[in-house]
Structures are given as C-alpha cells and as structure tokens.
Structure 1
Amino acid sequence: MNKTAPFDRFANRHIGISEQELPEMLSAIGVSSLDQLIDETVPPAIRMNRELNLPEAITEHELLEDLRRTGAMNRLCKSYIGMGYSGTITPSVILRNVFQNPGWYTQYTPYQAEISQGRLEALLNFQTMVSDLTGLPIANASLLDEGTAAAEAMHMFYGIKNKRNKGDAMNEFLVSDKVLPQTIDVLKTRARPLDIEIIVTDWRSFEFTDKTFGLLLQYPDREGTVEDYRALVEKARAQEVYVTVATDLLSLALLAPPGEWGADAAVGNSQRFGIPMGYGGPHAAFFATREEHKRQIPGRIIGVSVDTHGKKAYRMALQTREQHIRREKATSNICTAQALLAVMASMYAVYHGPKGIKAIAERTHTLAQILERHLKAMGYNQANAHYFDTLRLEMDGKMVETVRRTALAHETNFFYEDNAVQVSLDETVGMKELEAILAIFAEAKGTSFSLNGAEPASHQIPEALQRQTPFLEHIIFNSFHTETNMMRYLKQLENRDLSLVHSMIPLGSCTMKLNAATELMPVSWAAFANLHPFVPADQAKGYYKIFEELEQWLSEITGFAACSLQPNSGAQGEYTGLMVIRAYHESRGETHRNVALIPESAHGTNPASAVMAGMQVVVVKCDEQGDIDVDDLRAKAENHKDKLAALMVTY
C-alpha cells in the first residue's frame, strides 16, 4: 500500500463495492475473481484490449479545487441580454431543501405512485402554475427546453390535422420571424425528416393555404414587443389552423394569457422562476393546451385519483399515449424531462404566491418604464410601442459598437444587432443596477443623467392586453410564504417519497441515480450558474474547458472520433444519433435508406425516436431472456438491405 497516496479518492466513496463485499459476491455467483467473471460474461471479440487514456483519478477535495479554478476562468458580467434567458433569484429555502437535498434529487420516475406522492404533488403544482398563467386547461410536467416544446407542439398539431384530413398531407407550419432564433433552429431540424415545410416570415403577412396546419407566435416577441395577435388568431381558428404561442411565464402575471385570446397551445421555459441561467440549462420547459388534445400532449401528466381506501392520491395519468407503451406510435419520445427543475420552478410559485409573482413582474416592468424615460431623455430611440421587460434601442452600427465597447468596459452585456441594442431587465435588477445601465448609455452618448422623477402611474401595456383574471388561487400557492412554513411543506412532501436516502432503487438503466454532493455543489456556484448562454465566448472559457475535456474523455471511452454534448436527454441523444445517420446517407446520395432495425426488447423511446427521424421501424425478435434473435436480425437485415439505414441496440 502506498502510504503517500491520497486515501479519499472519489471512486472509493461513490463507485463499486467494498473489499469486504467483493469475495462474498464473487462466491455467490460461483467465480473466484473479477477477471474470471469478465472472461465468462464478455465475449473476447468485444473485450477492450487496451488501457483507457484518461487522467489519474483524484479526490473529491482535488475535484472541487479544480472546479474552482475552472470557474474562475469564466468572466461573470452583468447580463441584460434576454432572448429567452433571464437573471433570477433562487430562494435559499428551495436551493437548500430541494436542489441540494438528495431526498429530492435521487428519486426515480414516479411509476410506482404509492412511493411517489411527494414529487407527484410537486409536479401537479407545476402543471397548475402553468395552466393558470397560460389560461389553458391542461399542462404537462414537463419538457426539455423551449425549442423542443415548440417542436413538440408543431409535431402534435401536424399529427392531429393529418389524421383528420383525408386528402394530401397538410405540411405548412408558419413561424413568426420574431420567434427566438434558437427555437426556429430546433423547429427546422425537427421538421425536415417529417417533410414539414417551415415558413418564417412577418406574422402580419401570414397566408393560410390548404396545406397550412399550424403557426407559432412569440409573446412578448424576441425584440421585446407585446403584440396584439387577436385578429390573426381569430382568422386562424376560422380556417382550423392551430395556434401555438411561445411565451414568458413571468410576463403572464401582467399580460392577458394566450388561452384567453384563442391559442391552442402555449409553450416556453420556466427558467426565470428561480432556476439560474447556467449558460443555457438545464431548465424545465412547459406545454399547455386545450382539453381535447390531452391524449396527444407529450410528456408526463400528473392527475388526481383515489387510493384503495378512498383517499385522494396522485398518479401519472393517460400513460397509454406515452412512448414506453405506444413505442413507434407514440406522440413523442420525451420521458421525465427536467423534473427536478420543474419541482424547483413550482416551489418558486408556491413560495412567492400570486401576490409575490405579480409584484416581481410589476417591479420589472416599472423599472423598464423608468429606464425608457431616461434613455429617451438622452436622445435614444426606443422602438417598442408596448413591452414587458425589454427595450429595443435603434441606432446606427457605429453607435452600436460604441455602446458595446462601453458596456464591456463596465462588465455588462446587452443584446446587439447591426442597428439595434436590446436591454432586458429581470428580477435581479433594482435602482442600483438601473443607474449602472443608464451610466453606460450616458457615457456612450457623451452626456449625463439624473435618476429622479416619479414612478410611472400605470402599465405601459395596452388595456386590451392587460391580464384581468386571477391566477394561482389554489390554497397551496397561498399558504407557505415564510421560510419555516415552506421548509415544513417541502419536508412533508419529501417524506412521502422513496429515494436513495431510504434505500436502493432497483429500476431503470437510463437515469443517473446519484449526483454526489461534490458534483452538485459547483452547479450552484455563481461562476457556473449565472452565465447567460449568449455571452461572448471569451467570458465562458471555464465552460469551454469543461466541454473540451468531457468531449475528449467520452470519445476515448466510447472509441469514437468525436462527441456532441448538445443533446440534453437520452431521448435527444438517440434522436441526434439517428439524424447523424440520416445525414450520412444523404451525403452519399442514398436518401432512400430509411429502415431502422430495433429489437422488441428495446426501450419505447428507441422506436419513437426513429419515427421522429423519418425512419420506418422494423422490429427484431428477442428470445425469452430478452437477447436479440440473431437469426431474425440477419434475416431482416437481408430482407431490407436496399433500404437499411440503422440498427439500434442497447449496449
């Protein structure tokens, strides 16, 4: 034994079994060593015959020190960029009692309702919050991100419309050019294998044809403008064109909700409900729609039922539409989708309640009005006629560069275009931050200002678009507004669940069961948590170091030449791999290759992902042990050889 080597290695605490347990376990299965076990279970043809080229293992203390150095490489500036991501304040009671609490973050998917009542109630709170704010009767819990949620809405309405339509496929989807650019990119990727035509244009010039099945609007839009879409939506509904609205939950505390002016679905990101930006994620997206679409909605839906004693109980509802049952006929390949972040966002609403949420929204909007007044006094042209939290200042390109240079000198980021600067305010902004923003614009203009004057007397939002209906009326959102009461509520829910704080959970291979405390702590550090995903790359050097190292290590472990970290779930990883395979065949001029061979024992996500990638699923038989029937695989590969695109195997 090397007495100078560190004892407390990370692996010793979290991976594998003890020296005392090993002989007992080997004896129980009838082998004398781990080498013998591997020899008898792993065929020589697929045994790795080399050592992995990876760094030496380190201790938890060394890991934390390394991450502190890496975090220091990020340059943490004030960011007022917007574009779907905002600064927010995570209440400490939620940070400590949910995010950093293994009683919440080690639970498995709530397939067994009797040991999942706590998190099922928390997720039902999320659904209620989303439904109330969007003005739509049913919501899921939850989705991966706003772009994915918009794509799921497009896919859902495409399926509904074409199931009803007996003629040629209706495949036109209209997208406002004021939708967030990252959402448009996701829509285009998801549309291509399904032969959906995305038409991006000014929403005022939308033209409905006999091919149009749906449209997407942003509310408020990417430039911060609050538009009145009611006439367009009325026209769309008259022609049976489905309307999806991507929206901001906090703004809906002040704005008329999409469901009230005719939207068929509302999607978006719950990030600004207490979830740090984290350089882009993870965050829980939301999806709300009308009652008649409940059997097509993607993701989990939590419902209220009764137990065997007649008492109220929660369970996952309408599971028969999900991929683990419907497989290639499923409405989506999405599974649990950021449930922990959905719980945190729901608890943010529980903790603040309707009064608190409205107060945060009103403060943000009022500060934006004060900012506009002073910027106009300096001579800036503010272009948004109506807005919630974002101002768009139009100027020539030379002035844009002057503002950018001045802002960077003061460690501040805005959103820049060739002839405009956008400033988006959020919960973290107070009068001190407002004064700092104004100082930047005054310096860029070579002028001065005095932050004074009365607060605006009213909202800047037109009366027709102001919210008139209450929200978050349920007692849960009106009871726990002190830390003690909130802590007790969280503990009460936690105690209704089974998690790793109680026992092992012998379910599922697709979900990481434990984020060690050492792994989780740095995620909440400001150096990692508070970076906006659109900051200049030189402000995120720590993140890029992590990306490059992880890509290198995963490539080494898997034996591949390169690695993508873009997918933010296993389902998305499957889809990405299938889309890469599709692109490979296209690059060779073999676009006819569209058959995917998938074993009948595969997780339902596999065939669902294949269909989303535009492939035809051919099922391969398995034996009684669940192993692939090689003869059937060989026969089906031969039978479909001219159109064969992919084989999906769980390995």
Structure 2
Amino acid sequence: MSQNSTPSLRELEHHGAFIERHIGPNDAEIALMLRTVGYDSLDAMTDAIVPGKIKSPAPLALPQSVTEEQALAKIRAIADKNQVFRSFIGQGYYGTLTPNVILRNILENPAWYTAYTPYQAEISQGRMEALINFQTMVADLTGMDIANASLLDEATAAAEAMTLAKRSAKSKSNVFFVSKDVHPQTLEVLHTRADGIGIELHVGDDSDALNVDSFGALLQYPNTFGQINDYKALTDAVHARGGLVAVATDLLALTLIASPGSWGADMVVGNSQRFGVPFGFGGPHAAYLACRDAYKRSMPGRLIGVSVDAEGKPAYRLTLQTREQHIRREKATSNICTAQVLLAVMASTYAVYHGPDGLRRIAHRVHRMSAILAAALRKQGITVGPDFFDTLHIVDVDAAAIHAKAQAAGINLRAIDGRSLGISLDETATRADLVALAGIFGAKLDDIDALDAATPDALPAALRRQNAFLEHPVFNTHHSEHELLRYLRSLADKDLALDRTMIPLGSCTMKLNATAEMIPVTWPEFANIHPLAPANQSQGYQQLIDELEAMLVECTGYDAVSLQPNSGAQGEYAGLLAIRAYHRSRNEGHRDICLIPESAHGTNPASAQMCGMTVVVTKCDSNGNVDLDDIRAKAEKYSDRLAALMITYPSTHGVFEEDVVAICDIVHQHGGQVYTDGANMNALVGVAKPGKWGSDVSHLNLHKTFCIPHGGGGPGVGPCAVKSHLAPFLPRTLGGEGNVGMVSAASFGSASILPISWMYITLMGTEGLRKATQVALLNANYIAKRLEAHFETLYTGRNGLVAHECILDLRPIKDATGISAEDVAKRLIDFGFHAPTLSFPVAGTLMVEPTESESQHELDRFIDAMIQIRDEIRAIENGNLDREDNPLRNAPHTATMVTASEWTHAYPRELAAFPLPSLKLQKYWSPVARVDNVYGDKNIMCACIPVDAYKEEAEA
C-alpha cells in the first residue's frame, strides 16, 4: 500500500486480516528473506522445493480468511447449539469446579499452554515441579510406590496396565481377566488393544477372578455402578497364581476409602479429571498409572525424576528416558509419545490449592449428599445399591419415564438399561440439585439437614482410609489465592515457552497458538458437556466436528477422518488398525508385513507391532532419502504378506523426496497400503495433498500443524485420515457400529480443544493456509542459508533446498574440538533459546524448524546466537578458549554462578552471562546448571523433594 495513495476498502480489510497476525514476517521481510535464499517470490521458491508430480493443481476449496471477531461470532453460534444440562451421568466423568486462579493462570496462560515436552531439563524446571506434584499426589492417594507423569485417558491407561502386567507377571498364561463392572469405554479399548497383540480377555463377575488362570486382572474400585467391594481375597488369589492385579479407581474417593496399595494391588490407573478439569465432551483429561517399585523400569509414559545439577543442587529431569517404543521399537507393547501435561498440571495444582484437608472436605460433602439422596429415594421405596461413595445404582424402575422427567428438568442421568439407571454426584452438586433429583422419583426432601443427621455414611467400615496422604509441604502451604498465584508465577518464571522465545524444534512445529483460537475452549457450552450427554444436547459439537473433519479432508486429499485418537501415536495406531481390518475384510488377513524406513520415529514400529504386524526395516540412502531400490526389493520379497509401508513426508530428514509417487505405486502393486505419517504436514497444507499422490492413510497432529498448543507435552490430537476404501475401518464410537473398536476412551477424543483447529483454519482461509506453509519453507531455508558458512546442513533436496526444517551437522565440530551437539543445545539456553531437536533423526545433529509464525527479527536473533556459538567453538579450535573449561561445556550459566564471589573459569563472566549485547536488555536465567542425567537414572526419585534438601542447600 503506497503511503500517498488512498487504499481501497478491500485493501484495508485485507491488512486487518488474521493472516498477518499469524505469519511472523511481513511482506517486506519476506521479500528480503527470499532474496537471501535466491528467489523472487514465494511461489517460485515453492516450485523449486516441491516436486511437481505431487503439487496440488488448485487452491484449497475452503472459504477465505476472516477476522478474529467474525470467526468468534461464527463459533459462538455453533457453541450456542449445545445445551448445558446438569449431568450426573458419571461413568468416569464428573462435574468439577475449576478454581479461577487455576483457570486464568494455567489453562488460559500461554506460559503454561505453549511450553514443550521437558526434554531440555534446565528450561523446564517449573512444569516438571508441577508434574512431580502430580506423581506424588497419585502415588500417595493410590498407595503405590511410583506414578508416571500422566497418560491419555483412563481406558488407554488400563490397556497400558494390561501390557505392563503381561511383561512383568510370573504367570505364563495369555489370559487377562477384566471385571464386567469396569467402565464400558475401558472394556472397549481393552478389546481393541488385546486383539492386536494376541491377549485373550476373560470378562466376568469379580468372583470369576478367583478361578481364572490369568497373568493379570483389572478391577474397578468403586465399580462403574458405584459399589465399593473388598478385593483383598481376590487379589491374594491372583497373586498365588503368579498374576498381577491392576485397579481402576477414583482419586477423590481414595481420600475416604482404603488405597488399592493397602490391600495388595500391583498397579493403579484412573483419571484425574474431577480434580478441576472440565468435562470437555470427553477430553483432554490427565490419566495416570501408578505401580509398585519393582515395575518402574517397565512403566509406560513419562516419568519425572530428581537429579542434581553441575553445582550439586536438586534438579528435575525426565528419568528413564529410554522409553520402550524407542529402545524396543518393533518389539514394543506401548507407543506412548504424548502425555496430558497441561491437564496433569491443573489436577496437581487443584490438590496443592485444596490440600489434603480440602480434598477430604470436598469428598465428604459429595458422599454426604449421595447418602442423603439415597435415603430419600429409599424412603420412597426405590431400591438403591449398597456401599457407595458418590454413585447410586437404582434398579427396578421405569428407566425411560425417569429419564424423560429428568430431561424435562434439565438433568442427565446415566442410562444403564430399561429397569435401572445411575446417578453420580460431584462437587458441583447443590442442595437444590438434591431436591430436584429426589423429585424426579416422586420423593420429597423437605428438610435436608434432618435427613443428614439421621443418615449414616454408605462407606464400608472395613474399607475406610486410615493413613494420611499429601503430607509434603507443597500440599499444605498454598491455600490462599495470593499464595497460589505467586507459586504458579514462580514455576512459570523458571521455564521457556513460546510466550518468551522461539522453540525451533525440528519435527515438532511449535507455532503461534493465537489467543482468539484459545478463547472458545473455556466457554461453558464446550467445557461443560458430558461426553455421554444425549445427542440432542451436543448439536453444536457435532457441527464443529463435522466441519473440522471436512476441513481436514480438504487439506489432505483423503475422504474421511476420525477425531477419536487423542495423540499422534494413537492416530498411527488407528491408521494401522484400519489397514489390518481392510485386509481381513478381503480375506487377506495373512498380510502382516509392515515396511518402515530406518529413519522412522520409534512410535512407527511400536504401533505396527501393537497391531500384530511384523516390522521389516528398509534402508535410507546417503542423502537421507528412503532407498527406492530397497523398498522395491522388500516389497517383492514379501509380496504375499505385505500389509503396509509407513513413511514420513516430507522425510524425517527434512526434504521432499522425489520418488514418493513411485514408492506408493510399488507398495500398491504388491497388495499393500501406504501410511504417511502426518508429522510434517506443516510443509504441505495448501501445497500438496498426500491423499492425492497415492497415500491411503495418515494421522495428523493438530497439536502441530493445526495450532493446538503442546501444553508442556500434551494435550495432543492425532486424527486419522483415510481414503474411502478404509473409511469403514475407522474406530467406532462408544455404543456405535463399526469393524474396528475404540482406540480412546471418548468417542471424539479430546473434543474440547477441537475449537482451536476449527478457529485456525477459519481464520486463515485458503490463502492464509498456503502462505503459512510457504513461509514455513522460507524460514527454514533462510536459517540454513544464513548459517551455511558456520554449520553444514546435513541433507538437502532439489535445488539444494530443505523443506520446513533443516538438520545442522555438528559431528565434524565434535571430532575437531570435543564440543557436542548437546553442548550447543545447552549454550543456547544462555541466549534465551530452547534448543532445536537434539540428535534426532541423526545422532550428533540439531534439527531446526522455525515455523511460519516466527518473525525475521526472531530468526535473526537465533542466527546471531548460533553464529556467536560458532565463534566460541572457533576460539576453542584456535586455542583462545580451553577445550574443557569453556562457556559451551559449562552451559547453561545460572545467575548464582556468574554472581559468585569467586570466578574460577578461564573465560570472562561477561562472556558466560551476556555473550551478545542484546542480552543485557532482556535475559533469561536458567534456574539450574546442567543437569546430571547419569545420576538421575542411578538414583531414581520420582516424588516431591523433601524440604530438608532445600534446608541443607541453604546451610551449605
């Protein structure tokens, strides 16, 4: 727009559009960066990077970009189609009151929701402390020795417990016993998981477990109908046969009833949703798995542990990081990659805020209200089950008539069958709710206090909790809002998230999660819908889901999408299940070979193994490309058994491979299907569609390409997109029809965060989505070009260009100086940067992905840091810096280090703290020095650090 010309209305509207808010560089900066790379337009550069045979001939058939106000108005109209009833359905999902201080300062705070998985320990101390709180909370309440830092949902956590029992039990049986009184969604997911790995499920009455020869058993406590049973004798019987006992339970109930650990359970799973995390139509919610110490090295998922830093101070880190999908690969029984960190942080902070006394008070209130309601119903002649915490199992009634009355009163109850139903109370229940619920059954509650005084508890006396829990000071300190606010701020200040700096992680796409996209998530119309609410109450959700699925179909070129998988690894698993079911439907169930390139992420072979496939690894050539000749040879060798090929495109090495169409053709010629990992879809949207070049199925990462934030390592959403012939084999919904069972507990996975991706696509429109992809390509190539004189880019594609990420090869530097890629990663912390992806997919390298939302200013800031680091390495090469005592080996430098009265290093303090002048204006200080990984794995401690440790440090 010329300074002297009068702009048109259309020009003015265009310049106010969201596209310019999302994409970091403005048009002038884009032009300058294009000149640096050697092109005069984004289209010319795109043509030079992307093979012509895969490029989309037409723009995306999506609407044009709209303003934030317009998009919010559109999604508000969708949200208003949902009806928020009072839901007392239970079945693993309960109403909860999210403390406003947690809502505003965690769920709605970008310092928490834009952080990444804590692989770089030094800049993740805050979120890891919150996760240690989660682990301690779960271990204390369940009576287990150790708990992990969250799993995806209760049903998949139960499936993980099943496979953990299979790996760990002494019994050689292939049978896993499951109580028929577990939640229905848990049973669904167990059937899906057991089928793929050849485990036989025996579902029956609890008493059957006394006689069934099994390697393990899963019990629900309290069970899905609310009853609290004594499982001590049953547990002893399973143990006597060499089996292990897993228990699905409720954390709030465990504040009042005996922990499973106290009566012999080996593993405990469940969901922390009712600790301050809304229904959200089923997710995301943080599940957990806790176990005896003997099984900690086989635990699935992430585990936060305590180590020491270079100064000997306590420091948190991911411990036992060689998770089994990476070290066991095709022999793995778990493909866990994503946790639910943001939700685990909310749940643990809920416990910190309320403390043990507060949690007991909440639980007692819920139980008293349940007992009072049961007493009122019994007075009316209604039969209510015995021994419960919060859930009433009501039998011998006209269930349809009761439900109709409840619906008319704006209340949802649990549908069980024609003669029974369930009512689950929670902390949101009020006295008015009790009156209304009793009235539905024709009972009157005129004097609640009098009935309260006359009604005993319904907890079995022998199963009342006797021991204390949450005794650590962190759970007994921050009970005022002011104290909690300051505690949360202190944790967030320790971390680096996208609100502070670029996170240039290759293959992880850390991009802007715009505020407008986040706003609808906490609207009651999305947050407060129970996943099992009647369909007529969730019409808005259904519209949102239908529209988002259609958007993703258009972006990918596939024909159908399932939004059920709640992580990328779950999406992989769902895609391979669809391929397996497709072959079976054609009487080709013998097809079991899955070809996977050696460069693949560890979840690829793990997912294939979980579907009962046999993994055959294929080679990569010297340029990092999939070896076409090797794929052809192996496809021919296993022609009769070929089920699938799994590839990542653009490749794991960050280039557009030329032969992808030929590869698809080879696999199809031999009867196989092509699975394309969608991790790198950010290089494709609006440019090319995998469903159009021959691929049959992909998972997508909505927490990457489509703007759902990473949340410190979760939530994620991994939709599975397929061509039409695979559509009948997508996961079915709970109670729905389909050839393939559920892969997640909720029918639509992490539904409450789907508005984020809907908003992103709506805001960007067809033009914005393509431009975002092109700028992502430009930013990566700009970094590679500006750094080429300092660091070699390991792999390039056509015309010497990379895709949306570049791999910097530091191996020659290590050979010459001893400085490793890890040293560079840690030194970047001193410049205020999260490190690029370290040593993946090639050891000794850094993989950089800047994303389209990073401005030229931020890219240049990163480039300046990398050039300064290279100069420091040159100083080591020429002898001006010591090979051992230098700023890279000692990074990161804490404020304590550089302000100490004595400075013993051979380089100046200023170089340590302020290697660039700009850092004197704004400086991030790492809260800990370099963390000792070896110490952490040798001295495993995965609960809150005793206060004495801090006292000893202060005294020292």
TM-score tier, shorter chain, comes to over 0.9
| Equivalent residue for 1:455, pick from 449, 452, 456 | 452
1:620 counterpart residue number = 618
1:180 counterpart residue number = 183
Is 1:412 equivalent to 2:418 in the alignment? no
Do the aligned residues in 1 keep the contact of 2:332 with 2:610 (CA within 8 Å)? Answer: no
What is the TM-score of this pair, normalised by structure 1?
Answer: 0.95
Q: Which moved more, 1:77-86 or 1:510-519?
A: 510-519
Q: Deviations over 1:509-565 (max 9, x none)?
A: 246544321111111111110000111100000000001001111111111111111
How many Å apart are 1:626 and its aligned residue?
A: 2.7
Change over 3 Å in CA distance of 1:448–1:373 after alignment to 2: closer
How many Å apart are 1:7 and its aligned residue?
A: 3.8
How many Å apart are 1:199 and its aligned residue?
A: 1.4
How many Å apart are 1:441 and its aligned residue?
A: 2.1
Is 1:575 equivalent to 2:596 in the alignment? no
In structure 2, list runs of 5 or more residues that go unmatched.
1-6, 650-956
Q: Which amino acid aligns with 2:150?
A: S
Change over 3 Å in CA distance of 1:448–1:374 after alignment to 2: closer
How many Å apart are 1:21 and its aligned residue?
A: 1.5
Pairing of 1:163-202 with structure 2 (within 5 A): 170-202=173-205
2:865 counterpart residue number = none
How many Å apart are 1:335 and its aligned residue?
A: 1.8
SS at match of 2:529: coil
SS at match of 1:388: coil
| Equivalent residue for 1:158, pick from 157, 161, 166 | 166
Alpha-carbon distance in 2 for matches of 1:10, 1:531? 29
2:587 counterpart residue number = 589
Change over 3 Å in CA distance of 1:524–1:474 after alignment to 2: same
Change over 3 Å in CA distance of 1:249–1:514 after alignment to 2: farther
How many Å apart are 1:467 and its aligned residue?
A: 0.5
1:648 counterpart residue number = 646
How many Å apart are 1:631 and its aligned residue?
A: 1.8
Alpha-carbon distance in 1 for matches of 2:509, 2:37? 26
Change over 3 Å in CA distance of 1:7–1:522 after alignment to 2: same
Alpha-carbon distance in 2 for matches of 1:325, 1:123? 24
Is 1:478 equivalent to 2:476 in the alignment? yes
SS at match of 1:590: coil
Alpha-carbon distance in 1 for matches of 2:19, 2:547? 19
Pairing of 1:308-387 with structure 2 (within 5 A): 308-382=310-384, 384-387=385-388
1:26 counterpart residue number = 34
Alpha-carbon distance in 2 for matches of 1:593, 1:207? 39
How many Å apart are 1:323 and its aligned residue?
A: 2.4
What percentage of residue pairs aligned between the two structures are identical? 54
2:935 counterpart residue number = none
1:393 counterpart residue number = 394
How many Å apart are 1:607 and its aligned residue?
A: 1.1
Q: Deviations over 1:73-92 (max 9, x none)?
A: 00111110100000000001
1:542 counterpart residue number = 540
Pairing of 1:60-459 with structure 2 (within 5 A): 60-161=68-169, 170-206=173-209, 208-210=211-213, 212-382=214-384, 384-396=385-397, 399-416=398-415, 417-442=417-442, 450-456=447-453, 458-459=456-457
Do the aligned residues in 2 keep the contact of 1:510 with 1:570 (CA within 8 Å)? Answer: no
Alpha-carbon distance in 2 for matches of 1:66, 1:8? 18
In structure 1, list runs of 5 or more residues that go unmatched.
none
Alpha-carbon distance in 2 for matches of 1:15, 1:182? 41
Do the aligned residues in 2 keep the contact of 1:324 with 1:604 (CA within 8 Å)? Answer: yes
Change over 3 Å in CA distance of 1:186–1:367 after alignment to 2: same
Alpha-carbon distance in 2 for matches of 1:453, 1:6? 67
Do the aligned residues in 2 keep the contact of 1:296 with 1:331 (CA within 8 Å)? Answer: no
SS at match of 1:294: helix
Alpha-carbon distance in 1 for matches of 2:363, 2:14? 51
Change over 3 Å in CA distance of 1:2–1:644 after alignment to 2: farther
Alpha-carbon distance in 2 for matches of 1:496, 1:325? 31
Q: Deviations over 1:459-480 (max 9, x none)?
A: 3212211100111111111110
Alpha-carbon distance in 2 for matches of 1:508, 1:476? 36
Alpha-carbon distance in 1 for matches of 2:456, 2:395? 25
Do the aligned residues in 2 keep the contact of 1:142 with 1:336 (CA within 8 Å)? Answer: no
Q: Which moved more, 1:354-363 or 1:503-512?
A: 503-512
How many Å apart are 1:38 and its aligned residue?
A: 1.5
Is 1:498 equivalent to 2:496 in the alignment? yes
Q: Which amino acid aligns with 1:69?
A: A
Alpha-carbon distance in 2 for matches of 1:379, 1:511? 60
The root-mean-square deviation of aligned C-alpha atoms, in Å, is 1.6
How many Å apart are 1:205 and its aligned residue?
A: 2.3
Alpha-carbon distance in 2 for matches of 1:625, 1:311? 44
1:11 counterpart residue number = 19
Alpha-carbon distance in 2 for matches of 1:363, 1:515? 39
| Equivalent residue for 1:608, pick from 589, 595, 606 | 606
How many Å apart are 1:157 and its aligned residue?
A: 1.3
Is 1:556 equivalent to 2:558 in the alignment? no
Q: Which moved more, 1:258-267 or 1:331-340?
A: 331-340
Q: Which amino acid aligns with 2:202?
A: I
Q: Which moved more, 1:76-85 or 1:602-611?
A: 602-611
Change over 3 Å in CA distance of 1:333–1:514 after alignment to 2: farther
1:38 counterpart residue number = 46
2:59 counterpart residue number = 51
Change over 3 Å in CA distance of 1:204–1:514 after alignment to 2: farther
Do the aligned residues in 2 keep the contact of 1:276 with 1:530 (CA within 8 Å)? Answer: yes
Do the aligned residues in 1 keep the contact of 2:277 with 2:347 (CA within 8 Å)? Answer: yes
SS at match of 1:649: strand
